[in-house]
């Protein structure tokens, strides 16, 4: 009897969380991220990822938020793949990065080289804001961590008076990572505790688009990725934190 009550409670919580995500998608998001009121200017944003499906698996809430606010979103993928992800993935950037980088566990990428490639892209596209992984890289994949270090190195070394800011997606712990939409409550609460405005919680404003985007990676749209996209909190919410330079 206790088990039945527990299962019903979990299902109810899951349903309430999904309702919250859908309600948020129907109203305009109240997040303060890049929101200066009516006069909000369009930003040129570069999302820096390691693999061609990262944008759909880990960055969908952020990308959907940015596009809903009409910011210009560019995606720089640092390794090869056979699909080009959501609309703004640039094949020439993929080719540029893939000449020098090979992805995979154990292949540590050169942070100086990453910083140099990212720097070139920010100058080419007048980027003023970068979004990438944090130093754990959500899944712990070494290349995700390398990408973070590349951005950090760029921010540390090459700014030279340029206006460029960088934000990272905070990795949820293993429990929060697999409780699906239920994690939105914790993410909202934790970001509200931050009074400095350096942390923002973004709910996914278009879940259907996230599934559709991931399905474009047909070679990788296998059962365990479908499981991940359904049960991972990364599908439903992202918390961004500004990278201190």
Which residue of 47, 48, 50, 101 would you call a contact of Zn ion, by CB under 5 A? 50
Rounded Cα distance, 204 and 214, in Å: 14
Question: Any contact of residue 51 with Zn ion (CB under 5 A)?
Answer: yes
Q: HSE (CB half, 13 Å, CA atoms) of 61? A: 27
Stretch that binds Zn ion, among 44-52, 64-72, 178-186, 237-245 (CB under 5 A): 44-52
Q: Do residues 44 and 74 make contact, with C-beta atoms less than 8 angstroms apart?
A: yes
DSSP state of 172: P
Helix, strand and coil in the chain, % to nearest 5 = 50, 15, 35
Task: Provide, rounded to whole angstroms, the least separation between the CB of residue 143 and Zn ion.
Answer: 6
Q: Does 69 bind Zn ion (CB under 5 A)?
A: no
Please report how close the Cβ of residue 217 comes to Zn ion at its closest, in angstroms.
11
Query: Binding of Zn ion at residue 75 (CB under 5 A)?
Result: no
Binding window for Zn ion (CB under 5 A); candidates: 54-62, 84-92, 155-163, 194-202: 54-62
Helix (H) or strand (E) holding 212: helix 207-215
Instruction: Tell me how many degrees the CA angle 115-92-224 measures, rounded to the nearest 5.
Output: 80
**CA 155 → CA 77, 120, 160, distances in Å?**
18, 13, 9
CB of 3 to Zn ion, least distance (A): 37
> By CB under 5 A, is residue 134 in contact with Zn ion?
no
Determine, following the binding rule CB under 5 A, whether residue 129 of this chain makes contact with Zn ion: no
Per-residue contact track with Zn ion, 170 to 199, x per CB under 5 A?
A: ------------------------------
């Amino acid at each position: 009897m206790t088990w039945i009550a527990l299962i019903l409670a979990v299902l109810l919580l899951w349903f309430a969380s999904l309702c919250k995500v859908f309600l948020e998608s129907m109203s305009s998001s109240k997040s303060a991220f890049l929101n200066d009121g009516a006069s909000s200017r369009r930003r040129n944003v570069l999302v820096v990822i390691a693999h061609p499906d990262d944008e759909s698996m880990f960055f969908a809430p952020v990308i959907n938020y940015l596009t809903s606010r009409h910011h210009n979103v560019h995606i720089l993928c640092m390794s090869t793949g056979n699909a080009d992800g959501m609309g703004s993935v640039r094949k020439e950037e993929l080719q540029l990065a893939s000449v020098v980088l090979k992805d995979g566990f154990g292949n540590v990428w050169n942070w100086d080289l990453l910083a140099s490639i990212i720097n070139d892209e920010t100058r080419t596209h007048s980027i003023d804001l970068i979004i990438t992984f944090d130093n754990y890289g959500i899944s712990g994949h070494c290349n995700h961590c390398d990408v973070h270090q590349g951005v950090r190195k760029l921010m540390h070394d090459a700014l030279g008076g340029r206006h460029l800011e960088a934000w990272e997606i905070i990795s949820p712990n293993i429990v929060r990572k697999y409780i699906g939409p239920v994690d939105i409550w914790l993410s909202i609460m934790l970001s509200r505790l931050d009074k400095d405005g350096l942390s923002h919680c973004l709910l996914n404003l278009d879940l259907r688009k996230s599934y559709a985007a991931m399905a474009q990676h047909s070679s990788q749209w296998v059962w365990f990725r479908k499981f991940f996209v359904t049960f991972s909190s990364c599908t439903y919410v992202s918390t961004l934190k500004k990278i201190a330079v």
